Amino acid sequence: MSPNYMRSFSEGCLRPPTVIGQFHTLFFGSVRMFFLGVLGFAVYGNEALHFSCDPDKREVNLFCYNQFRPITPQVFWALQLVIVLVPGAFFHLYAACKSIKQEDILQKSFYTGFYIFSVFLRIILEVVAFWLQIQLFGFKVNAIYMCNVGALEKKFNIIRCMVPEHLEKTIFLIAMYTFTVITVILCVAEIFEISCRRLGFLKSQ
């Protein structure tokens, strides 16, 4: 790989062309991933082991846990982070291949439009993930989950299951909603900043 290609990649790709974009990268890359990777593991790491039902049988616990968690929150949020990164990564790859300089992104209409389009895609993906999170997890984790075991047990239809650390999970759930809202706001603010720079209300960096 040539030195010129590496230089163009480091100058034009790794650093977003706006102040808000750079803050978004720091917030998204550092705070959000750290929160999910470290605290998410502490809250959800042993959930399946501590999830218990009445009667407390291994096969019943496993059946009800799979019903309670069609997808684990950690996996969902990890997928969300990866998918939301795709539009920006695609733009950065395009900028590297075309040797686009950072200042060109805000000066040339095609590059500006392409970059704004990638930001719009991030917003759409975040909103879709927000909606899916509501459908899958709601806004609160209850201490008791009523499990339908009619397909597993002939003696019972509905049994009670205990959800471990339900309060911690509720707090973590609200925090992840908050992160999504913040990143959407930052994306909208970045588009506004780009528009102001293009119109001359803000000086270029």
Per-residue pLDDT tens digits for 32-55: 888 887 788 788 878 888 888 888
Beta bridge partners of 145: 161
The answer to whether 166 and 143 have CB atoms below 8 angstroms apart is yes
* CATH number of residue 28's parent domain: 1.20.1440.80
HSE, CB side, 13 Å, CA atoms: give it for residue 46: 5
188 confidence band (pLDDT: 50, 70, 90):
very high
Residues 6 or more apart whose CB falls under 8 angstroms from that of 116 comprise 191, 194
3 confidence band (pLDDT: 50, 70, 90):
very low
| Average pLDDT of the chain to the nearest whole number | 81
> Which range is least confidently modeled, 91-100, 138-147, 168-177?
91-100
Which residues constitute the domain of residue 199? 3-204
Q: Would you state the pLDDT for residue 96? A: 80
Q: Would you state the pLDDT for residue 135? A: 92
Q: Whole-angstrom Cα distance, residue 166 to residue 85? A: 30
pTM of the model: 0.79
Q: Please give the tally of structural domains in the chain.
A: 1
**What size, in residues, is the chain?**
205
For residues 181-186, give the mean pLDDT.
90
54-105 tens-digit pLDDT = 887 888 888 889 889 888 888 898 898 889 888 888 888 888 887 777 777 7
Tell me: pLDDT of 11 over 50: no
